[in-house]
Amino acid sequence: MIRNLGWALAAAVSLAGVGAASAADMAVKARPMPVPVYSWTGCYIGISAGAKGVQTRDTAYYPAFANAPVSSLNLGELEDITWIGGGQVGCNYQTGNWVFGIEGDAHAQKWAVSSTLAGPVFPPFFAFGDTFELRSDWQASARGRVGYAVDRSLFYVTGGAAFTEVRSYTSWAASPAPLARAAVIATDDRTLTGWTIGAGVEWAATNNITLGLEGRYSDYGTQRFNAGRVTTVVGGVVAAPGTYVQDTYRNVRIETGEVMAKVNYKFGGPVVARY
């Protein structure tokens, strides 16, 4: 009986060893590894540069006086192209694939348009050599952004307030009797507020560096600029004889369109998703 018990114990130990070896040979299932997923949440600062087109529609006015009605001259549509260069700062918040943000930027630029009267016939009180010019050296904006992210790519629309500085130069040439007028040069420097809208695409080249391309349209509406105080001595041709002092002005509409490349440094890194 003891002998039979020994054989039984030996068989049990043998089977246990085989079972342990089989368990050791089984593949162990790997634990899920953390996968880095890029997040657009965070703040950034960057630089940008590109090209800008400008279109102006300018009308000069000589106010009515005595029995002379207001005299105006439409200077037509004038266009210019300029470079722009500057920077931006902003913050984004991502929820799911949607990204919501705010951004402010400022850029240097240098555009100018000018008209000088040279035709044979002009409206009353305008003269050969009268010159009308507009110039600008900077622009800025404060905007909201709404985008859709596909991992490291972000497609967005943007819109908000636009600001720009515009200087008007008006040179009234001297004219002889019967509408005698001394030469006058006037300037008016104003900061204009308008609106801007656009769209862009941005790509995260690294966890902290993003590259982008953006296009925007801006409209500053019609703005009034002082064109100078002009003294005219009238000899009775289109108004009662006498000396008249007039505050002339110009109504100017300004629209712009621009395309710029952007490079941003984003603070923070990717979010690690465990799945």
pLDDT digits (tens, 9 = 90+) for 122-138: 888 899 999 999 999 99
* pLDDT score, position 5: 33
Looking from the CA of 73 toward its CB, the CA atoms found within 13 Å total 21
- Predicted confidence at residue 17, as pLDDT, reads 42
Cβ atoms 195, 161 nearer than 8 A: yes
- Residue 261 pLDDT exceeds 50: yes
Q: Is residue 200 part of a domain?
A: yes
Is 6 a domain residue?
no
Position 28 in a domain? no
Distance between CA atoms of residues 17 and 271, nearest Å? 47
- 177: in domain: yes
Q: Residue 133 belongs to what domain range? A: 35-273
Q: What is the CATH number of the domain that holds 141?
A: 2.40.160.20
What distance in Å separates the CA atoms of residue 48 and residue 238, rounded to the nearest whole number? 55
21 occurs within a structural domain: no
Distance CA 79, CA 256 (A): 10
Pairwise CA distance, residues 62 & 133, whole Å: 17
DSSP 185-254: EEEEEEEEEEEEEEEEEEEESSSSEEEEEEEEEEEEEEEEEEEEEEEEEE-SSSS-SEEEEEEEEEEEEE
Q: By C-alpha distance, which of 57, 61, 108 is closest to 79? A: 57
In a domain, residue 7? The reply is no
Residue 241 lies in a domain: yes
Count of domains forming the chain = 1
pLDDT for position 2: 37
